[in-house]
Amino acid sequence: MDILHTQLAKIQRHLAFVAVDPIDWKFYVQLFSWGVTLFECYLLLRQYPLYSKTTPPPALAKHIGQEDFEKSQKYGKDKAKFALFSKIFSQCLDSAMLQYGFYAWCWNAAGIMLGKFGYGAEYEILQSIVFSFLMYLLSSLPTLPLSVYSTFVLEEKHGFNKTTPGLFVADLFKSWAVAFVLGAPFLAAFLYIFKWAGDRFVPWLMAFMITFQLSMVILYPTVIQPLFNKLTPIQQGELRSRIESLAGKLKFPLKHLYEIDGSKRSSHSNAYFFGLPWSKHIVIFDTLLQQSKPDEVEAVLAHELGHWYFLHPTKMMAISQIHIFSILALFPAFLHAPPLLRSFDFPKTVAAKPPTIVAFLLFQMILTPLEAFISIGMNAVSRHFEWEADRFACEIQQTLEKKHGVDPKECIGMEDMGERLGRALITLHVKNLSTVWVDWLYSAYHHSHPTLTERLRALEAFQVEQKKSN
């Protein structure tokens, strides 16, 4: 532990200037955030002309009908226009909030509100909670019309919206309530650890964050998700027995197999799994079940089980721990830095003894450009994982027979898993009207999955390889 703290102290010494130098942080944040937004707009402008192409890429030509292709091009075009508008709108809004001291105003307003109830500035954690919710509510209200437009105009026009206005409002209030019920105690504990551990907060906060993430693994499916969706066990039948047999052969600890009414809100479809290492739930969207045959759904699950087999969620979580650790390691330099708060219009009295939550928020804003790079890296890792899971599905028969000693007789009918996965991916893609032509830079920046063309090409290559080795 002491080695850790000596190393952390070294980093702090390099960053000591933050606490004394009057740097114009606000200017930097404006510059960086506009830089990121303009880059994202540039990507959209690279992608946009591709929606005017009149024929699908050669690799997809035999899988996608002209009518579906034209529909997906129109949908993509509308979505791109909307994305461009909302990006610029949100950036202008953020920029104005930054320029006119919105954060300082919120802190002050939270103080005044609490003062009315007899709580003074010494109740920093309480004021931090009120501050966070005030900020969250006030900054989410102006973008509310965008999400109304997206749901009821854009998605509606292309036949995806299944949300009613009543459901939309109920969802909104439910998500606010969940944010408050979970967020307030989380924030209180988070801030309390800072106070309690002093400058040695890094390992304690890490332990706290990991505990929180793990408890969400239990709480999300059992408490939170049922607030928004209905999960029904999948009935006995071809699909259930296919999935159970697949899970059994792989020794996947399948506890529950559910269908989720995703179509209540939207017809975009998928499948996923979650849970503790010894007890997993698989959830399949009703839309996927309606659109694909049982043997295709099985192939989608073979892909999902590939993620489990290669420990992808665990690896992702490890990466995110490193990410959190690096952020926390840099943070102390910004924690006691009056010039930082001054540059964001906080009054001298507040800046003299910076509230942790405010320092953390401003620090996060300073990290924006770095986070953009990290997200590019994370997407690349995620695309690699998708490729690995596709290969797993393709080679599942060989893996079971050769690596796990499963009787070849039990694996009959699995040799075409890759082909079935390909068919399921095409159906998903076509029904979701997903983009067919993709600019490489746009994809590298935004996509957590390889494009359909890339995936089909890889699936074909795996199959060729497999035939050679048989």
**Which amino acids are annotated catalytic?**
304, 390
# of chain residues touching Zn ion (CB under 5 A) = 2
Window 387-416: residues binding Zn ion (CB under 5 A): 389
Q: Name the minimum Å distance from CB 422 to Zn ion.
A: 14
The window from 309-317, 319-327, 331-339, 385-393 that contacts Zn ion (CB under 5 A) reads: 385-393
DSSP one-letter code for 269: -
CA-CA distance, 290 to 254, in Å (whole number)? 23
The percent of the chain in helix, strand and coil, each rounded to the nearest 5, is 75, 5, 20
- Interior/surface letters 11-21, b for 16+ CB within 10 angstroms, e for the rest: ebeeeeebbee
Six-digit token string for 216: 């969400």
Binding range to Zn ion, per CB under 5 A, among 97-105, 176-184, 348-356, 380-388: 380-388
**What is the nearest approach in angstroms of Zn ion to the Cβ of residue 389?**
5
328 CB contacts (<8 Å, ≥6 apart)? 201, 202, 205, 206
Please, what is the minimum distance in Å from the beta carbon of residue 382 to Zn ion? Answer: 8
Helix (H, G, I), strand (E, B) or coil at 424: helix
φ/ψ of residue 117, rounded to 5: -95, 10
* CB of 303 vs Zn ion, minimal distance in Å: 6
Q: Provide the token pair at 87.
A: 């990006």
Does residue 372 contact residue 353 with C-beta atoms inside 8 Å? no
- Are residues 351 and 342 in contact, defined by beta-carbon separation less than 8 angstroms? yes
Q: How far apart are CA 216 and CA 208, in angstroms?
A: 12
CB nearer Zn ion, residue 249 or residue 312: 312
**Three-state secondary structure readout of 140-153:** HCCCHHHHHHHHHH
Strands lying side by side in the sheet with 231-233: 231-233, 254-260, 279-285, 271-276
Closest residue by Cα to residue 50 from 31, 32, 82, 76? 76
Q: How far is the CB of 461 from Zn ion (least distance, A)?
A: 18
Q: How many angstroms from the chain centroid is the CA of residue 137?
A: 21
Output the six-digit token pair for 169: 């409002």
For Zn ion, the closer of residues 102 and 385 by Cβ is 385
Burial of 345 (0-12, 13-18, 19+ CB in 10 A): middle
Q: Of 81 and 447, which has the nearer Cβ to Zn ion?
A: 447
Query: Binding to Zn ion (CB under 5 A): which residues in 12-31?
Result: none
Nearest distance, CB of residue 386 and Zn ion, angstroms? 5
Which residue, 50 or 297, has its beta carbon nearer to Zn ion?
Answer: 297
Two tokens, residue 208: 């706290």
Longest dimension (CA), the chain: 78
The span of 19-27, 216-224, 372-380, 382-390 binding Zn ion (CB under 5 A) equals: 382-390
Cβ proximity to Zn ion, 296 vs 386, nearer residue? 386
CB of 307 to Zn ion, least distance (A): 6
Cβ distance to Zn ion smaller for residue 386 or 439: 386
Cβ closest to Zn ion, residue 259 vs residue 386: 386
Joined tokens for residue 248: 């059994």
Return residues touching Zn ion (CB under 5 A). Answer: 386, 389
